Structure 1
Amino acid sequence: MSQVQTADMEVQQPPTDGISEIQFSPQADFLAASSWDGNVRIYEIQSNGSSMAKAMYSHDAPALCCAWSKDGTKLASGGADKAGKLFDISTGQSTQVAVHDAPIKEVRWVDGASPILATGSWDKTIKYWDTRQQSPISTITLPERLYSMDSVFPLLVAATADRHVVIYNLNNPTVPFKQISSPLKWQTRTISCFGAGRGYGIGSIEGRVAIQYIEDKDKDLNFSFKCHREGGTRMSDKALVYSVNSINWHPVHGTFSTAGADGSFAFWDKDSRQKLKSFPKAESSISSTCFNRTGTIFAYAVSYDWFKGQSGAAANSRNKIMLHAVNEIDVKPRKRN
């Protein structure tokens, strides 16, 4: 029997290749998944945990990211075809709305007076688009290739190669508010903003997460911790260290999840600095995760992330999206010890 939680439900008709990102709609239990098979899929998740494939559209190369508009009517995605696409839920049509000189690694909707899409690329730029126009509103140059990006108004954070973190205040979106080196010593894998735009969590390939606040007055609240490791409990032991692939914030309680190349996920409380709950391992890496809008479902993609290269790819491994029913006690904040 698989080590995965027996109660967790499997999404039907999953992607046929690596799953790059999964995202729940902010308005309904629709789950989007972008995949290396070049397709972006949308599933409807029922209250009993069953799922149904609703829609699919394609890029001309691997799809690397996806993000829902705030009103849930549109889904944006980016791919190795250097194109940003927009899928309209009501019409079932996809159109190209963005272009870069290299693959688009991240797409995020930027809150503001109008729906603006930010696209971040390995061409070392972020572009802001009004999706009704063909040309970008503005283009900003990054110090290196973009690896991860997230936004909670008025904050947008971009993590690039060489451990750069560039922070933007979206009230002045083209000028960096702050640029720092990651507090983690190894390559960044994921970055994720927490509520009210006060800060972010950042994860590295070396099984560490850092919680970082934006304002200098809050710097005493910054900390980092180890996770997604095996062994190494004694000084003489060597730990097996895994990449932290995904960080997500609970929409109600403000606690957060981490998931990694070790195939496990856990829930944490940043304010009390404790682990709330850890879960059994899946049979492969977890590449992406997300909570639904009410925080009652936690979705995780079981999909090899190539952290061991080709030699680590099991011939019979399947790509799966699993749904975990969240027990509120597992995500509620705790008092600090």
Structure 2
Amino acid sequence: MSNQYEVSDPPTDAISALRFSPYPGSHKFVVASWDKFAYLYEISDNKQCTLLKRFEHRAPVLDVSFGKDDDEIYTACLDWDVRRINVQTEEQDVLSTHDAGVRSVVYSREHGLVISAAWDSTLHIHPASPEAEWSTATINLPSKPFSLSVSTSKLVVAMSNRALHIYELATLASECKNTANALQARLDIEPWQRRESSLKFMTRAVDCMPNDEGYASSSIEGRVAVEWFDPSSESQARKYAFKCHRQPIEDVDVVYPVNSIAFHPVHGTFATGGGDGVVAIWDAIAKRRIRIYPKLAASIAAMSFSSNGKILATAISPGFEDGKEDITEGSVGIMIRELGENEVKRKAK
């Protein structure tokens, strides 16, 4: 079975995002916090997690993503900026500035794109290479974006009003290259698909399947929806939603938000993290829960699997459901769980 330990140098304020490096052999992960820092950690063979560096920002950091390698990090900040950080030199370059706080940032290595989403209801598409012939392009969204996720070919944008847009990354890359010499082009790109969420309440998180076939999204009302990209009626008939992260308290079914979703990179199962402080593992194909882990000290804020799928990092922070504004000792933390060989694997029928 697995064992779990706590990171000794966590952020000093609420954690907004956590991402493992997607690159083989790497055990580095980056964390975004409301204390205005992005943190870079590394897990070593002797089961130690070390804080390597902290990168200060002017405002709370809301999202983070690795770039072309472990020495490149992108951040989304409440000061409206999207930044590229060179880990070795610690230099920060502003890629673009939105007109409101930047909620999400993702990186597509297949298409050389950095994509950010802000509360000004725009996407900014940036070239990953500083030598690119085009600059930032902007796409207007119909409502505020809450979460972004990329697969090898798709970008999923989850927004308010239960709206979901799915873009083909190849189309975005092609259209952006056509804007060469335009300093900041506004693109009128239609999404590949427009969808209405299967969930009745506000979307909290979205994550794409590692096999590029679909995605899962979660809501503030303790539900998760699993959907496939293929628009055929056969594939759409496979989509489903289910209840989770609920606890009976004094004969009342208390419902918690599902704050985080993370697909396992090898087995295709996925983890959900709730405001109840619980992490659960699910089999999307068999439509069943594989396991549930012991409740943690605060709401689950973010989760990520290592690139080889052998480690799960979970960040906890006080959430709205706790009714607390103050950060108390032990309520912000990062737990590292070493996973057993079959711990998050689909069970044979």
- Report the secondary structure of 1:195's partner residue: coil
Q: Partner residue of 1:322? A: 335
- CA gap of 1:89–1:315, structure 2 versus 1, over 3 A, is closer
Written as runs of structure 1 = structure 2, the 5 A alignment for 1:127-146 is 127-131=124-128, 132=130, 136-146=135-145
Q: Partner residue of 2:11? A: 15
- CA gap of 1:221–1:329, structure 2 versus 1, over 3 A, is same
CA shift at 1:15, angstroms? 0.3
Q: Partner residue of 1:178? A: 193
* Letter of the 1:266 counterpart: A
* Structure 1 portions without partners, runs of 5+: none
Distance in 2 (alpha carbons) for counterparts of 1:294 and 1:265: 19
- Report the secondary structure of 1:172's partner residue: helix
Instruction: Tell me if structure 1 keeps the 8 A contact 2:2–2:337.
Output: no
Distance in 2 (alpha carbons) for counterparts of 1:190 and 1:18: 17
Deviates more, 1:197-206 or 1:214-223: 214-223
* Structure 2 portions without partners, runs of 5+: 173-188
Distance in 1 (alpha carbons) for counterparts of 2:134 and 2:12: 33
2:93 pairs with 1:79:
no
Distance in 1 (alpha carbons) for counterparts of 2:77 and 2:123: 14
Written as runs of structure 1 = structure 2, the 5 A alignment for 1:40-51 is 40-51=38-49
Distance in 1 (alpha carbons) for counterparts of 2:9 and 2:36: 15
Instruction: Tell me if structure 2 keeps the 8 A contact 1:290–1:299.
Output: yes
Deviates more, 1:218-227 or 1:292-301: 218-227
Give deviations 1:138-191, integer Å, cap 9, x for gaps. 211111111001001211000111111111111222320111111000110000
Give deviations 1:96-129, integer Å, cap 9, x for gaps. 222100011000012344x220000101011101
Question: Which 4+ runs in 1 deviate beyond 6 A?
Answer: none
Q: Partner residue of 1:228? A: 245
* Letter of the 2:114 counterpart: L
Q: Partner residue of 1:293? A: 307
RMSD, aligned α-carbons: 2.1
Distance in 2 (alpha carbons) for counterparts of 1:172 and 1:225: 33
**Equivalent residue pairs, number:** 327
- Report the secondary structure of 2:11's partner residue: coil
* Letter of the 2:226 counterpart: I
CA shift at 1:314, angstroms? 6.3
Give deviations 1:224-282, integer Å, cap 9, x for gaps. 111110128xxx95310000011111111111100110001011111111111101100
Written as runs of structure 1 = structure 2, the 5 A alignment for 1:1-337 is 7-27=3-23, 28-113=26-111, 115-131=112-128, 132=130, 136-173=135-172, 174-217=189-232, 218-231=235-248, 238-310=252-324, 315-336=328-349
* Letter of the 2:171 counterpart: N
The alignment-based identity, stated in percent, is 31
Q: Partner residue of 2:176? A: none
Instruction: Tell me if structure 1 keeps the 8 A contact 2:204–2:258.
Output: yes
CA shift at 1:11, angstroms? 1.2
Give the TM-score taking structure 1 as reference length: 0.92
Distance in 1 (alpha carbons) for counterparts of 2:3 and 2:170: 44
